[in-house]
Amino acid sequence: MNIIIPIKQVPETSDVKMDTEKGTMIRDGVQTVINPLDLYALETGIQLKEKFGGKITVISMGPPSATKALKEALAMGCDDAVLLSDKKFAGSDTWATSYTIAQSIKEIGDYDLIIAGERATDGDTGQVGPGIAAWLDLPLATYVSKIVKVDEKELVVERLVEEGYQKLQMPMPALLTVVKEISNPRLPTLRGKKRARATEVPIYTAEKVDLNPDALGLDGSPTKVVKIDFPTVTRGGTVVKVEGEDGVEGAIDKLMDFLTDKEFI
């Protein structure tokens, strides 16, 4: 079974920066990690490979620094990696991103299953996985929490829905987006890290994949961010320091006065 897993390198939650003029996220010079929800897709794919054989190709779109995320996926147990990197891809929305990844998957070819994370923690849209399926005209199951059965022609999965679980029977090849309940991601091994360090990750540019230039990057994205507002967190308060037993009664009096003024009591 040949599996393709799209992953994304995202900024650490505490290191998110935005370009207010372009309406895009600044990715250069910030601390990044593999999108946490993509780790469940990686683990699911690795478990399927261990059971049925085959290989896993992991693919990511981003700057050259995204190679770090691909190498980590290789260290976990994936076999091959491809980086989509070109200045023409910069500023892509979910439509342009899914188009670029889907066309690159066509270039890779020979796959039975595509497994993606539920969503990315930076954009939080959950649209890229289904978008890839649409571009490739593949059967799609989202929010998959369990793979019940797999063979050469079909697979049976359980989806997590508001009412509980939904079981789907799907033909292969297909695309799944998975949720946390499906697996527990493993850590990279020392042997895997050594192999990943020695593996050269090929870079696919717009010219290599023969992409439509009008569908790439910020200019090719139908979604435009027209304004960015940064929330302000205001925390005002009074700190009452208590020194000795005599200060306890004074602190209690101040607390009671505060609660009375706010009409809490």
CATH no. for residue 30? 3.40.50.620
**What is the average pLDDT across 112-137?**
94
Residue 165 has pLDDT above 60, yes or no: yes
Does any domain span residue 265?
Answer: yes
**What is the average pLDDT across 83-92?**
93
pTM over 0.85: no
Residue 79's pLDDT band (boundaries 50, 70, 90)?
Answer: very high
Residue 261 has pLDDT above 70, yes or no: yes
Q: Are residues 83 and 189 in the same domain?
A: yes
Q: Which of 38, 31, 33 is nearest to 16 (CA)?
A: 31
Least confident of 9-13, 92-96, 229-233: 229-233
Query: Going by DSSP bridges, is the β-strand pair 164-171/154-161 parallel, antiparallel, or unpaired?
Result: antiparallel
% of the chain exceeding 70 in pLDDT: 92
Q: Are residues 252 and 128 in the same domain?
A: no
29: left (phi over 0), alpha (psi -120 to 50) or beta: left
Q: Are residues 13 and 85 in the same domain?
A: yes
Q: Are residues 70 and 164 in the same domain?
A: yes
Least confident of 10-14, 42-46, 125-129, 182-186: 10-14
Number of domains in the chain: 2
Q: Which of 145, 157, 222, 155 is nearest to 182 (CA)?
A: 145
Q: Are residues 133 and 206 in the same domain?
A: yes
Q: Are residues 175 and 251 in the same domain?
A: no
More confident residue, 225 or 29: 225
Q: Are residues 36 and 71 in the same domain?
A: yes
**What is the average pLDDT across 110-122?**
93
Does any domain span residue 63?
Answer: yes
Q: Are residues 50 and 177 in the same domain?
A: yes
Q: Are residues 239 and 121 in the same domain?
A: no
CB within 8 A of 48, min separation 6: which ones?
A: 1, 3, 54, 113, 147, 150
Does any domain span residue 36?
Answer: yes
Question: What separation in angstroms does the CA of 121 have from each of 12, 34, 99, 261?
Answer: 9, 10, 20, 41
Does any domain span residue 240?
Answer: yes
Mean pLDDT of the chain: 89
Widest CA span of the chain, in angstroms? Answer: 79
Does any domain span residue 228?
Answer: no
Angle (CA) 96-119-91 rounded to 5° is 30
Residue 21's pLDDT band (boundaries 50, 70, 90)?
Answer: low
**What is the average pLDDT across 28-44?**
87
**What is the average pLDDT across 2-6?**
97
Which pLDDT value is given to residue 251? Answer: 86
Taking the C-alpha atoms of residue 41 and residue 50, their distance in angstroms, rounded to an integer, is 14
Q: Are residues 148 and 257 in the same domain?
A: no
Contacts 24+ apart (CB under 8 A), 189-192: 189/75, 189/76, 189/77, 192/74, 192/75, 192/76, 192/77
Question: What separation in angstroms does the CA of 79 have from each of 9, 30, 192, 230?
Answer: 18, 27, 10, 41
Q: Are residues 91 and 10 in the same domain?
A: yes
Residue 231's pLDDT band (boundaries 50, 70, 90)?
Answer: confident
**What is the average pLDDT across 120-144?**
94
Residue 147 has pLDDT above 90, yes or no: yes
Domain residues for the domain of 25 are 2-215
More confident residue, 168 or 255: 168
Residue 179's pLDDT band (boundaries 50, 70, 90)?
Answer: very high
Does any domain span residue 204?
Answer: yes
Taking the C-alpha atoms of residue 259 and residue 256, their distance in angstroms, rounded to an integer, is 5
Residue 182 has pLDDT above 60, yes or no: yes
Q: Are residues 114 and 239 in the same domain?
A: no
Which pLDDT value is given to residue 25? Answer: 59
More confident residue, 127 or 22: 127
Does any domain span residue 229?
Answer: no
Does any domain span residue 106?
Answer: yes
